[in-house]
Amino acid sequence: MLIKKEYLSQPQTENCTQNIFVKFLEYQTLSVDTKSLLLISRLRATLEWTDPDLAWNTSVYQFNEVILPVSKIWSPELHVTNGITTEMSHSSPDLLANSKGTVIHSVIINAQVICEVNLFNYPFASDKCPVAIQGWSRMGCGTNLVFGELKTVIASSGEWETGNATLERKRSDRNFILVPLSIKSTQPFITLVLPSILIVLADAVSFALPLGGGERNGFKVTLVLSFTMSLIILNDELPGDGECSPIIRFHFCCCLVILVVSMLWSMVMTRLSAEGRFGLFRRSKGPVSGNAGGGNAKEDEEVKAEVGVDVLGGVKEDGQILKKVVNFLEAIDGKTRESDRNQRFASKLDHIFFWFYLNSGIATLPTSNSVMVALTFSVLHRMF
């Protein structure tokens, strides 16, 4: 008898609205897309409403409750109004109706909500995301939701954790679930922040390598290239900007600048240690003590040739040969002293830069990490 009535539209009342009692509402966060700032959630609701047309006389039909197919009578629809996609399905093809016209049914809603989570403190970010839920309503007619118990399924969704959600109301017809979200910071810290700190630490320790030989420069170039490649690979893992750009990007920028400056400084110091000049500009040389002060490379070669001729041919006297040999050795000693002076000067500058580098790293990296943890930045969530 009830099926044959085919009541497929909302029951009509004097004020054109139908109260729907949401006796039980269960919320669960399935996943959070950090890159696209999407909250993917699942809701299960137990609904109860009264349809006078579905009531019957128990003296005629001696049943207090009957099971009806949900496709044969009207049932309310719930929507997540701030979701980009919403899909409601019936948890069962049947529903329960009693003799007074009260109907009880359960539905499942899967929704994707654009959640502008404040990621300024990533990977220590936490925020609240609204999930608006309401029934069909047009021009004062439709359904009015009356909520009862709300249960939150506490579970981890990837790197995100869901806290206890609360039911809030903006207007009489605007209800939303406020979902607290927080990042489990251990994994992002180990995979993103800690490697960058260790690379900068390895770069600082590399100052113990000698300036000559090229080992230090090769090591520093390897660190810069490795860090750059890791940033390119991790670009897909970093969160989207949203309204607040994550400060972890500033942290990576500081690390990269520190590594590049250290690499360039090491190259310049190597040039200074070997040739006594910065780049294309030669340092002024002081006079070299002894008879070698006025000598140059060309004269040294001539001395070598003359010495060779004198030794082989035995043409000149031993005293003159000895004098030229002494001049030749003094010239070599002068070059050695000049090279030592260049190395000492470069080493002194290198030590000064090392302490400046170390103090800058100690000041910058802990500061950026402290800002990630402590500094908060509020985001005004877009309401519906």
In a domain, 355, yes or no: no
Q: What is the Cα–Cα distance from 315 to 318, expressed in whole angstroms?
A: 9
Predicted confidence at residue 346, as pLDDT, reads 81
In a domain, 165, yes or no: yes
In a domain, 303, yes or no: no
Do 206 and 142 fall within a single domain? no
Do 179 and 196 fall within a single domain? no
- Chain-centroid distance of CA 99 in Å reads 58
User: In sequence order, which residues have a C-beta less than 8 Å from that of residue 296 and are 6 or more positions away?
Assistant: none
Predicted confidence at residue 224, as pLDDT, reads 92
For the segment 320-340, what is each residue's pLDDT rounded down to a tens digit? 777 777 777 777 777 777 777
Do 172 and 82 fall within a single domain? yes
Domain ends where: 183, 212, 242?
Answer: 183
* Helices assigned H by DSSP within 6-67: none
Do 14 and 41 fall within a single domain? yes
Look at residues 179, 191, 173 and name the one whose alpha carbon lies nearest to residue 150: 179
* Helices assigned H by DSSP within 276-317: 297-313
Do 53 and 114 fall within a single domain? yes
Q: Which domain holds residue 24?
A: 2-183
In a domain, 109, yes or no: yes
In a domain, 247, yes or no: no
Do 18 and 106 fall within a single domain? yes
Do 123 and 215 fall within a single domain? no
In a domain, 42, yes or no: yes
CATH of residue 64: 2.70.170.10
Domain ends where: 197, 222, 247?
Answer: 222
Do 124 and 212 fall within a single domain? no
Predicted confidence at residue 312, as pLDDT, reads 46
Q: What is the Cα–Cα distance from 135 to 264, expressed in whole angstroms?
A: 64
In a domain, 23, yes or no: yes
Q: How many domains does the chain have?
A: 2
Q: What is the Cα–Cα distance from 99 to 63, expressed in whole angstroms?
A: 7
Predicted confidence at residue 138, as pLDDT, reads 76
Q: Is the backbone peptide bond immediately before 246 cis, with ω within 30 degrees of 0?
A: no
Predicted confidence at residue 285, as pLDDT, reads 46
Q: What is the Cα–Cα distance from 69 to 93, expressed in whole angstroms?
A: 6
Look at residues 187, 338, 334 and name the one whose alpha carbon lies nearest to residue 275: 338
Predicted confidence at residue 175, as pLDDT, reads 84
Look at residues 294, 284, 292 and name the one whose alpha carbon lies nearest to residue 341: 284
Contact 81, 112 (CB under 8 A): no
Do 67 and 128 fall within a single domain? yes
Predicted confidence at residue 47, as pLDDT, reads 93
Taking the complete model, does pTM exceed 0.75, yes or no? no
Do 57 and 158 fall within a single domain? yes
Do 63 and 116 fall within a single domain? yes
- Chain-centroid distance of CA 382 in Å reads 23
For the segment 1-59, what is each residue's pLDDT rounded down to a tens digit? 888 888 888 887 777 888 889 999 999 998 888 877 888 999 999 999 998 888 888 88
Do 151 and 199 fall within a single domain? no
In a domain, 214, yes or no: yes
Predicted confidence at residue 384, as pLDDT, reads 52
* β-bridge partners, 181: 127, 162
Q: 245: which 2 tokens?
A: 């750009």
What are the per-10-residue average pLDDT scores of the chain (384 residues)?
83 81 91 84 92 87 89 88 89 90 93 83 83 82 86 78 85 81 82 86 88 84 90 73 72 88 88 70 46 47 48 57 74 75 81 86 75 63 54
Q: Look up residue 232 and give its DSSP letter.
A: H
